[in-house]
Amino acid sequence: MSVEQDFSVFVRHPARGVAAMDLVVEGVHCGGCMTTIEKGLKAHRGVRSARVNLASKRVTVEWDEGAMKPGSIVERLDELGFPAWPFAPEAAGGAEANEERRLLRALGVAAFAMMNIMLLSVSVWSGDLSPATRDMFHWISALIALPAVAIAGRPFFDSALRAIRQGAFNMDVPISLGVLLALVLSVAQTLQHQQEAYFDSAVMLLMFLLAGRVLDQRMRRRTRDVATNLAAMRSETALRILDCGDAVETPIAAIKPGDLVLVRPGERITVDGLVETGRSDIDQSLVTGETALGEAAPGRAVFAGTMNMTGALRIRVDKAASGTLLDEVNHLLARAVEQRSRWVRLADRAARLYAPVVHVTALATFVGWLLAGLAWQPALVIAITVLIITCPCALGLAVPAVQVVCASAMFKRGVLLNSGEALERLAGVDTIIFDKTGTLTLPKAEIANLAQIDPRDLAHAGALAAASNHPLARVIALASGARAPSDAREAPGQGVEARVDGDCMRLGSASFCEASDDQRAGAALWPDASVIYFRHGERVVSFAIRQALRPDAREIVAGLAARGFAIEILSGDRVEAVAAVARELSIATYAAGLKPADKIARLEQLKAKGHRVLMVGDGLNDAPALAAAHVSLSPISASHLAQAHADAVFLGERLAPVAAALALAGKARRLMLQNLWLSVAYNAIAVPIAISGHATPLVAALAMSGSSILVTLNALRARHARGFAP
């Protein structure tokens, strides 16, 4: 049955009479694809413009209002060979883009100012100038530096002010102080016709730090773009039933509470709500981790993410289903987020140690020179020089540079980080807890006892299965590749019956196939599977169907255990099902049948013993545990709530990204510490020079750029991490 798609929620109106839509396009790799899409769309009547963004794999199309249906753009792109999904650009994405633009503008201003001031400074350093010319050069430098710092320094000043107002302390406080003092000192020196001014140092410092921040912001936006694209490609829709009785396929974003939604058998339920009419079995594995089927009947609550198996349901959409699982999960989540111990980032801890030491040193220098008999003015100049030279340029880059390089290395291995500090937390992990359903196993099913089934039985059963829409039947049909017989008759909720080669055959539940207790006993070997029976004459064959393990789960879990991580399974599923998976993966510690609160209790118990736990989970029921754990990962197939509370999301069917993330995080932490020590070493050399009064602007410029480049080069080594299974 073909249903009309309603894309109106994605359409923007940038001007009168113009409609526009953004789409995610799959398979755009090069300039050729780009031209094909743009030309192909522009050939369409009414299309005003089409522009592909190759970096983010998106297309923006504008057309004359009313000239065509939005759906025909998707059709046209399909014809061109590029499957496309419309999406609504999020408001949060716009804020990110604005922030990036702001930083980029600041960087442009700082770079311009630095180049011009350097031009003048080099002339001053060469030393051949008459005092009048030198003064003029200093004044011109001031003229450029003061407005440039006022513009380019804003990101740091704002952040430093925010921190101080909250009584906190971050790296931007000493940075701002250093830059401002350098400017004040330089202006004072210029007024007194002195030889030395630090305009170049102030601007150079800003330039280096801004370059780091722009890269950081760019990495974050790229991660977010990919996440938005993946969400759009999952393109969740629901069949909304209109008042006139027609059904329209509507994007989830346009569904409102109170709407009536039809879910056919074999479809995923995409809304939360109460069943109004219809009965069915539903697979709740994504929500509760339970692989046994649940029951849906009028008046029962159903959740987004569950799979409707056997009968059509009409669901009244209702977000605020109180007293339900969702309610409990939300309640636990609020508490877990609140209780998550405030993690102090490495850079901030360094800043906390560093700033007092530097400020005390500067003060001691001032007092020391006074006691040594110097007048207060030159003594103050030397003290401020100490502050300028210790301004944490390398320290400010030490951690972000590693984060940027490491996040892009993770990106290549299929891990999308939600925050930079997740890297630091990942590095400290000693215990890994896996959820079972959807995390160790895949959301798709396989026949567990395929080896024991006669190929002829499989072919016959597959033929019958092909006639059914039931998800379990589809697995058998897929495995056999057989085609449906013409006279198959489906008994809803029971099975399929057909006559093949003159014999009557049945496929379905145990009672439908009249399986004896003896014949049922075979299925007990597969406690974690759903069983379907096939009857051919007197013979009864059972098909045990269960969720497949991720293809590399065994090696990855073994590899992690070998590297000394304690590994556990906490699952909401039945104990037999969990035990089977634990045995297969040789995981000794597991717990089954857990509620979200039980998972948190286990986490707290481990935390009390001093363990740092990585939680890997996907279900709605895992969300509180993901938020409560030291650090957490989610597969991309996870429920929205779980993804929102995970520190990182991994792509694909394999478990390898989990191991890669841990290995890279360990390496990142080592590099961050190395970088911090490098900046300490730099200070150990530069500070004595400054204290003794021998620091000149030339020394400051060389030291700053030298240490920044060293730290950045060191960070680049994070691209290559060894020591994990490929």
Partner 1 sequence: MNILIILLPVAIGLGVCGLLACLWAMRTGQFDDLEGAGWRAIADDDLPEPSKQEIKPLS
Q: Does 130 interact with partner 1 (rule: CB under 8 A)? A: yes
Strand order in the sheet with 495-500: 441-447, 539-549, 530-536, 503-508, 495-500, 489-491
Q: Does 119 interact with partner 1 (rule: CB under 8 A)? A: yes
Stretch near partner 1 under the rule CB under 8 A, chosen from 70-78, 113-121, 411-419, 437-445 = 113-121
Q: Does 47 interact with partner 1 (rule: CB under 8 A)? A: no
Q: Does 39 interact with partner 1 (rule: CB under 8 A)? A: yes
Q: How far is the CB of 306 from partner 1 (least distance, A)?
A: 39
Name which position in 19, 23, 41, 52 contacts partner 1 (CB under 8 A): 52
Angle at 118 between CA 112 and CA 121, to 5 degrees: 145
112/169 with CB nearer partner 1: 112
Q: Does 297 interact with partner 1 (rule: CB under 8 A)? A: no
**How far is 200 from 704, CA to CA, in rounded Å?**
11
42/719 with CB nearer partner 1: 42
Name which position in 40, 83, 99, 112 contacts partner 1 (CB under 8 A): 112
Find how far residue 404's CA is from the centre of its chain: 14
88/119 with CB nearer partner 1: 119
Name which position in 88, 104, 233, 292 contacts partner 1 (CB under 8 A): 104
Q: How far is the CB of 162 from partner 1 (least distance, A)?
A: 25
Stretch near partner 1 under the rule CB under 8 A, chosen from 105-113, 270-278, 484-492, 644-652 = 105-113
144/445 with CB nearer partner 1: 144
Q: How many residues bind partner 1 (CB under 8 A)?
A: 23
415, 650 contact by CB (below 8 A): yes
152/185 with CB nearer partner 1: 152
Instruction: Return the SS3 of 212.
Output: helix
Q: Which two tokens stand for residue 640?
A: 């929205």
- How far lies 6's CA from each of 234, 253, 255, 372, 709, in Å? 16, 11, 11, 82, 53
Name which position in 3, 15, 43, 54 contacts partner 1 (CB under 8 A): 54
213/669 with CB nearer partner 1: 213
68/119 with CB nearer partner 1: 119
Q: Does 694 interact with partner 1 (rule: CB under 8 A)? A: no
Q: Is 435 a catalytic residue?
A: yes
Candidates 200, 281, 283, 435; catalytic one: 435
- Helix/strand/coil (H, E, C) string of 569-583? EECCCCHHHHHHHHH
Q: Does 441 interact with partner 1 (rule: CB under 8 A)? A: no
Stretch near partner 1 under the rule CB under 8 A, chosen from 50-58, 415-423, 639-647, 695-703 = 50-58
Longest CA–CA separation in the chain, Å? 115
Q: How far is the CB of 34 from partner 1 (least distance, A)?
A: 6
Provide the residue type at 67 as one letter. Answer: A
Q: Does 8 interact with partner 1 (rule: CB under 8 A)? A: no
Q: Does 34 interact with partner 1 (rule: CB under 8 A)? A: yes
452, 683 contact by CB (below 8 A): no
Closest CA to 479 of 462, 466, 496, 454: 462
Find how far residue 174's CA is from the centre of its chain: 31
Q: Does 147 interact with partner 1 (rule: CB under 8 A)? A: no
Stretch near partner 1 under the rule CB under 8 A, chosen from 47-55, 269-277, 645-653, 660-668 = 47-55
**How far is 195 from 179, CA to CA, in rounded Å?**
19
Q: How far is the CB of 155 from partner 1 (least distance, A)?
A: 15
Strand 613-616 and strand 631-635: pairing? Answer: parallel
54/364 with CB nearer partner 1: 54
Stretch near partner 1 under the rule CB under 8 A, chosen from 48-56, 196-204, 440-448, 692-700 = 48-56
Compute, in degrees rounded to 10, the torsion defined by CA atoms 673, 677, 683, 686: -130
Closest CA to 639 of 346, 234, 202, 365: 234
Q: How far is the CB of 37 from partner 1 (least distance, A)?
A: 11
Question: What DSSP line would sit under 470-517, residue for residue?
Answer: -HHHHHHHHHH-PPPPTT-EEETTTEEEEEETTEEEEEE-TTTTT--H
Taking residue 165's Cβ as centre, other Cβ atoms within 10 Å add up to: 8
35/605 with CB nearer partner 1: 35
Stretch near partner 1 under the rule CB under 8 A, chosen from 97-105, 165-173, 377-385, 565-573 = 97-105
313, 275 contact by CB (below 8 A): yes
Instruction: Return the SS3 of 162.
Output: helix
Q: Which two tokens stand for residue 270?
A: 């995409």
Q: How far is the CB of 220 from partner 1 (least distance, A)?
A: 15
Backbone angles phi, psi at 613, to 5 degrees: -110, 130
Stretch near partner 1 under the rule CB under 8 A, chosen from 27-35, 177-185, 352-360, 537-545 = 27-35
Provide the residue type at 27 as one letter. Answer: G
Q: Does 144 interact with partner 1 (rule: CB under 8 A)? A: yes
629, 433 contact by CB (below 8 A): yes
Q: Does 133 interact with partner 1 (rule: CB under 8 A)? A: yes
Q: Does 56 interact with partner 1 (rule: CB under 8 A)? A: yes
**How far is 244 from 259, CA to CA, in rounded Å?**
13
Instruction: Return the SS3 of 142.
Output: helix
Q: Does 593 interact with partner 1 (rule: CB under 8 A)? A: no
Q: Which distant-in-sequence residues (6+ apart) come within 8 Å of 625 by Cβ?
A: 336, 433, 570, 596, 599, 600, 603, 615, 617, 632
Residues 305-344 binding partner 1 (CB under 8 A) are none
Q: Does 378 interact with partner 1 (rule: CB under 8 A)? A: no
Q: Which distant-in-sequence residues (6+ apart) come within 8 Å of 503 by Cβ?
A: 536, 537
Stretch near partner 1 under the rule CB under 8 A, chosen from 80-88, 99-107, 326-334, 335-343 = 99-107
40/593 with CB nearer partner 1: 40
Q: Does 505 interact with partner 1 (rule: CB under 8 A)? A: no
Q: How far is the CB of 115 from partner 1 (least distance, A)?
A: 6
Distance in Å from the first CA to the final CA of the chain: 44
Q: Does 101 interact with partner 1 (rule: CB under 8 A)? A: yes
Q: Does 118 interact with partner 1 (rule: CB under 8 A)? A: no
Q: How far is the CB of 104 from partner 1 (least distance, A)?
A: 6
**How far is 694 from 685, CA to CA, in rounded Å?**
12
Angle at 95 between CA 7 and CA 319, to 5 degrees: 50
Q: Does 146 interact with partner 1 (rule: CB under 8 A)? A: no
Q: How far is the CB of 33 from partner 1 (least distance, A)?
A: 9
Residues engaged in binding partner 1 (CB under 8 A) = 30-31, 34-35, 39, 52-56, 101, 104-105, 108-109, 112, 115-116, 119, 130, 133, 140, 144
The catalytic site residues sit at 435
